[in-house]
């Protein structure tokens, strides 16, 4: 486990406000050197604490009005790597998790409309060899999404 000090936490909090913020602006805001900000961010990336600084896309604004959470049961859990590799080839699947309980995998997928969702579920996902069953819950909107509080 990585230990974050006060400087790391404050730098991350500044980046959460605006990931495009210049290192010099972060340095000024926190009253530390630009070099320190640069070194700290590089170290946090190297350690895997920060996994990237990228845009957060509002899928609804680009025409993806439907979302679903789908539990996937496999014929054999040993097939999970191959199944995951095939799921990665479907761009509408935005997240995939190993879980406990009655499913092996749990995915989040987005679609433009109900017909697009049907095709994703029945023509793409259900046709991946090794998938025994899927069980989907339609998402009606995101109440909130955030990083853990530091």
* pLDDT tens profile 73-109: 999 988 899 999 999 999 999 999 999 999 999 999 9
CB burial of residue 137 (10 Å; 0-12, 13-18, 19+) = exposed
User: How far is 55 from 19, CA to CA, in rounded Å?
Assistant: 8
How confident is the model over 10-18, as a mean pLDDT?
93
What pLDDT was estimated at residue 46? Answer: 94
Going by DSSP bridges, is the β-strand pair 66-74/131-139 parallel, antiparallel, or unpaired? antiparallel
Rounded to two decimals, the pTM is 0.83
DSSP codes, 72-117 = EEES-GGGHHHHHHHHHT-TTEEEEEE-SSS-SEEEEEEESSHHHH
């Amino acid at each position: 486990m990585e230990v974050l000090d006060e400087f790391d936490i404050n730098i991350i909090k500044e980046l959460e406000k605006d990931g495009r913020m210049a290192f010099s602006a972060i340095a000024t805001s926190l009253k530390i050197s630009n070099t320190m900000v640069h070194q700290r961010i590089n170290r946090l990336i190297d350690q895997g604490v920060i996994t990237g600084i990228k845009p957060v896309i509002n899928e609804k604004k680009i025409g993806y009005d439907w979302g679903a959470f789908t539990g996937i049961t496999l014929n054999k859990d040993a097939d999970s790597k191959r199944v995951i590799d095939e799921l990665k080839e479907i761009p509408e699947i935005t997240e995939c998790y190993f879980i406990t309980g009655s499913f092996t995998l749990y995915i989040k997928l987005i679609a433009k409309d109900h017909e697009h969702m049907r095709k994703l579920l029945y023509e793409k996902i259900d046709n991946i060899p090794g998938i025994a069953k899927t069980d989907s819950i339609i998402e009606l909107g995101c109440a909130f999404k955030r990083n853990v509080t530091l």
